[in-house]
Amino acid sequence: MPRKRNATQRPAAPKRLSGGNPQIAKGDGDAPVQAFIAAMPSWQRAVGRRLDALIARTVPEVQKAVRWNTPFYGIEGRGWFLAFHCFAKYVKVAFLRGESLEPLPPIASKSPGTRYLHLHEAEALDEALLADWIRQAAALPGEPVF
């Protein structure tokens, strides 16, 4: 028989995968994305909050989901345009059609069309450039909705 949780007990913290990425159940909407961000390790949590807020300000109609322990951002009926993931020394922002952005995000991918931006601790975030990339990415056809 399962044990009942005492009202004073906290739920178990999410398991961390390699690199510190939190393991969060697949889900649609803001709640699973906020759970992912809350479970991000140390300084990466602040980066996750800033990214999420910037995306929501830049693309007010954005749809959110968590798939494969990764927050995804997209436009209803058009697909996903951005995702991010924790690694030990940086947060990897994936622009899923990043090869169509100008200027190109700095890091190439083995996945056709994808470009990355790595955000490191204590690194200045160029919010104007990032917002421009987000705006451009949201205007493109996204990856299929899954």
* pLDDT score of 123 more than 70: yes
pTM: predicted TM-score of the whole model, two decimal places: 0.88
Beta bridge partners of 119: 91
Domain boundaries defined on the chain:
18-139
Identify the weakest region by mean pLDDT among 10-24, 99-113, 128-142: 10-24
Residue 27 CB partners (closer than 8 Å, separation 6+): 65, 66
pLDDT digits over 53-88, tens only?
999 999 999 999 999 999 999 999 999 999 999 999
The residue-averaged pLDDT of 105-131 equals: 96
Residue 64 CB partners (closer than 8 Å, separation 6+): 28, 29, 30, 32, 33, 71, 72, 73
Looking at residue 20, what is its pLDDT? 72
| Between 13 and 144, the higher pLDDT residue | 144
DSSP alpha helix (H) spans, the chain? 30-39, 42-58, 127-139
pLDDT digits over 35-59, tens only?
999 999 989 999 999 999 999 999 9
Looking at residue 72, what is its pLDDT? 98
Average pLDDT of the residues of the chain: 90
1: pLDDT confidence band, cut at 50, 70 and 90?
A: very low
**How many CB atoms within 10 Å of residue 126?**
11
DSSP alpha helix (H) spans, 17-126? 30-39, 42-58
Helix/strand number for the chain, H first, E second: 3, 7
Residue 74 φ/ψ region, left for φ over 0, alpha for ψ in the -120 to 50 degree band, beta for the rest? beta
Cα–Cα distance, 74 to 142 (Å, whole number): 7
The CATH code that applies to domain 18-139 is 3.90.1150.200
Percent of the chain's residues with pLDDT above 70: 86
